[in-house]
Amino acid sequence: MTKIFDFKKEINSEELKQAAKSIRNGNLVIFPTETVYGIGANALNYKAVDNIFLAKGRANDNPLIVHIADFDMLDDLVDNISPLEKKLMDAFMPGPFTLILKKKDIIPNNVSANLDTVGIRMPANKIAHDFIKEANIPIAAPSANISSRPSGTNIEDIKEEFNNKVDIIIDGGDTSVGLESTVVKVIDGVPTILRPGKITPEDIIEIIGICKLSDNLFKKADGIVESPGMKYKHYAPNNKCILIYSEDENKLIDLVQKNIKSKTLIIGNEKHKDKYDSYKYLSYGITLDDISHNIFSLLRKADKYEPDLIIIEGVKKEGLGIAIMNRLIRASSYNYIEE
Ligand code: TXA
Ligand code: MG
């Protein structure tokens, strides 16, 4: 039976020790981070890491991110850190940021899906930090969701999928950012965003002066890609879904209205909640931060109304909007209308 530790108000140090011991011993533990919940295993234990892939139903060519508590843990795991990479880490770690680095042999091949690199992340969330510190091992953790489903950002969604599949779930309340970390790899001396997130291209340009976006952020990727995760169906509700956007607000409302069919559920801006004659309207809030925080749980909630169609209002692909649109385009399986 899965044990649930409630750390929402405060971290219980006895339970923290128990969770740390459990993961050290090879069990799976789900823990909160500032981005989304992670389903964690001892990153140095091949068998434990394998169990993550089984629990999620994840393709084994999709590598995992390794989480550390502080820079002391880094030296054992990676090699050849360049001054530019060091600068990125100093600027954005701890935080919602993952850097792809050259891995050392100590990291099992299932963590890195046989690549010679590994994603390193140092969460800023206090529970995540204290948990990794107490465990005193690097923790491999993908987002806590069954593969292809929206990432888990709250305890109810997590329990639905993982109750009795992991040893312990640590409840830290709703995650603050709501979208997974920005994944960056330095390619030919240029920081390149493989997966956009809360740390935006502008944030990176401010520190480094230059930043590229991977080609595949808004389209379907096939074959060999920089970030294998981009190939797969992801974030998807179970029902048919269309993403609609126009820079012109009236046009957007018009386009959404025109696409409504019977039993259509709309996920959109709080300001538009009375604009449509739809079966159901779920508001994702007003700001990009609201949307980022709410979107994954809303995609899951939408399914519960069993609509025939889900329409999602898109946002401008700018700042955090890049990350939001990257997830929404995949959630809607590339059914995207922009005018
Ligand atoms: O915010 C996050 O990053 C969350 C929390 C739990 O830390 N984790 C997360 O992990 O989102 P996951 O496994 O769901 O997504 C990891 C992404 C995938 O798209 C994967 O392909 C990419 O990072 N990735 C991991 N290692 C890589 C590597 N060595 N090279 C390129 N891409 C890599
Ligand atoms: Mg994921």
Delimit the domains of the chain by residue range. Answer: 3-213, 241-338
Please check the confidence at residue 66 and state whether its pLDDT lies above 90: yes
pLDDT band for position 92 (50/70/90)?
A: very high
Phi, psi of 40 (to 5 degrees): -105, 150
Please indicate whether residue 228, judged by its CB atom, sits closer than 6 Å to ligand 1.
yes
Please indicate whether residue 38, judged by its CB atom, sits closer than 6 Å to ligand 1.
yes
Closest C-alpha to ligand 1, atom 19 = 229
Question: Which class is 3-213 in CATH?
Answer: alpha beta
Give the pTM.
0.97
Q: Give 244's pLDDT tier (boundaries 50, 70, 90).
A: very high
For ligand 1, atom 31, name the residue with the nearest CA: 227
Q: For residues 181 and 98, is the Cβ–Cβ distance under 8 A?
A: yes
What pLDDT was estimated at residue 254? 97
Q: pLDDT tens, 105-123?
A: 999 999 999 999 999 999 9
**What does the block give as tokens for 9?**
């108000």
What pLDDT digit, counting tens, does each position of 31-50 carry? Answer: 999 999 999 999 999 999 99
The residue whose C-alpha atom lies closest to atom 10 belonging to ligand 1 is 142
Which of the following CATH numbers is that of domain 241-338: 3.40.50.300, 3.40.50.11030, 3.40.640.10, 1.20.1090.10? 3.40.50.11030
112 lines ligand 1 (CB under 6 A): yes
Asked if pLDDT for residue 251 goes beyond 90, the answer is yes
Of 132-146, 226-240, 295-309, the least confident: 226-240
At 232, the pLDDT band (50, 70, 90 cuts) reads confident
292 lines ligand 1 (CB under 6 A): no
Q: DSSP for 75-93?
A: TTTEE---HHHHHHHHHH-
Pairing of strands 280-283, 190-195: unpaired
Distance 109 CA to ligand 2 centre (A): 19
Q: Which ligand is nearest to the CA of 111?
A: 1
Identical fold for domains 3-213 and 241-338, yes or no, is no
Query: Which has the closest alpha carbon to 174: 41, 282, 35?
Result: 35
Which ligand is closest in space to the CA of residue 183? 1
Mean pLDDT over 249-253 rounds to: 97
Q: How far is CA 146 from CA 52, 59, 182, 266, 331, in A?
A: 10, 11, 21, 24, 14
